[in-house]
Chains A and B, each alone.
Chain A
Amino acid sequence: MAELALSRELDERLLHLLGALEALQGKRDEFNSRVEQGWFSLSRSRFAMGCKSVSALQYGACMEPLVRVRASEGESGQVAFQVIPEGWDPSAEAAEGSPAVEEIGPQDQVLRQRKGPGKTEDPGSPLEAAPEPPDSPKGASSQDPLTWFGILVPQSLRQAQSSFKEGILLAGEIASLQSDLQATRAQYRALLERRRHLLATEG
């Protein structure tokens, strides 16, 4: 009786494993096609901008991740990965945009005063205010990697970015499936061992 229950559980684990393998295969194919599309778009950008214009030499001197991954461990040991594209939240971008516009106004006023008779009135405040936006974490994180390659980049470079962004989201799903696969494999081995012991004691 116990052997039958164990065999049934083994079958369930095996079916789960095969399902995970099938899902992994599908996600892999999708990921590979996104990445291939991204390379193609990068090559088109090189054709448009020049060979040396899209290379490692253009990487920014300061980099802040715009994508992070949240890992949460499940009961059976598998880890679920969730990709969080925090930098591209449209509401956050809108919220960041409005204070930046407000800051320009006062700075202009101060500069106008410097030209006039009140030049030495308050030199401290504009100097303190000016370095704030680049130092703040929000300002750094909103920097789009596209700007490393110029201000007016070709559409193909934007397409490459979009393809790789999709690839990153799929990478999170693949990592979750891989982890599930490993956990299921460990469970299957443990169940198999238990069945062997059971058969040895019975027979």
Chain B
Amino acid sequence: MAGRGKLIAVMGDEDTVTGFLLGGVGELNKHRKPNFLVVEKDTSLTEIEETFRSFLSREDIGIILINQFIAELIRHVLDAHTRSLPAVLEIPSKEHPYDAAKDSILRRARGMFTAEDLR
């Protein structure tokens, strides 16, 4: 599995997940465990967080694509993830455009410079 490359996981609204699955990222493994989650109105925060944590712990996943509005709900988990693998990409959703100011990676880059450093 590792020799063939890693998977791309998706968490998002129906259209985002459908689109990326059309693109060919979807997998149902031997235990019928998917590498995607469609977040609907009735999806609980616990389910979102648990799924995201399970994606982080899976060694066969290389990139996690997550709608930014969902990432906002579990921001503490994203901020705690500092490893390079899997890479977490915050992406826009149909109703919530991408905001670079909210992105964990860019916020970290922005936090590099303090007034003291620039003296």
Contact = CB atoms under 8 A, between A and B. Distances in A.
B24 A145 contact: yes
Given A79-B84, A178-B105, A189-B112, A168 B18 contact: no
Interface string A62-90: 11111111110100011101011111100
Interface size band for B: 35 or more
Interface residues of A, number: 61
B92 A67 contact: no
A21 B5 contact: no
Given A38-B19, A178-B105, A168 B84 contact: no
B63 A164 contact: no
A187 to B, nearest CB: 11
B21 A145 contact: yes
A54 interface: yes
Contacts of A32: 91-92, 97-98
Q: Indicate the member of A21, A28, A64 with the most B CB atoms within 10 Å.
A: A28
B22 interface: yes
Interface string B89-107: 1011010011010000110
Nearest to A162: B23
Nearest to B64: A175
B89 A174 contact: yes
Given A39-B15, A69-B63, A185-B109, A178 B87 contact: yes
Nearest to A85: B24
A69 B6 contact: yes
A70 B21 contact: no
Interface in A30-73: 31-32, 35-36, 38-39, 42, 54-56, 59-71, 73
A181 B27 CA distance: 30
B20 to A, nearest CB: 6
B31 interface: no
Contact of B20 (A17, A70, A164): A164
A160 to B, nearest CB: 6
A36 B94 CA distance: 8
B108 A165 contact: no
12 contacts: A17-B112, A25-B100, A39-B94, A54-B18, A59-B21, A65-B27, A67-B25, A69-B7, A81-B62, A83-B8, A175-B62, A175-B87
Interface of A: 17, 21, 25, 28, 31-32, 35-36, 38-39, 42, 54-56, 59-71, 73, 77-79, 81, 83-88, 145-146, 157, 160-161, 163-165, 167-168, 171-172, 174-175, 178-179, 181-183, 185, 188-189, 192
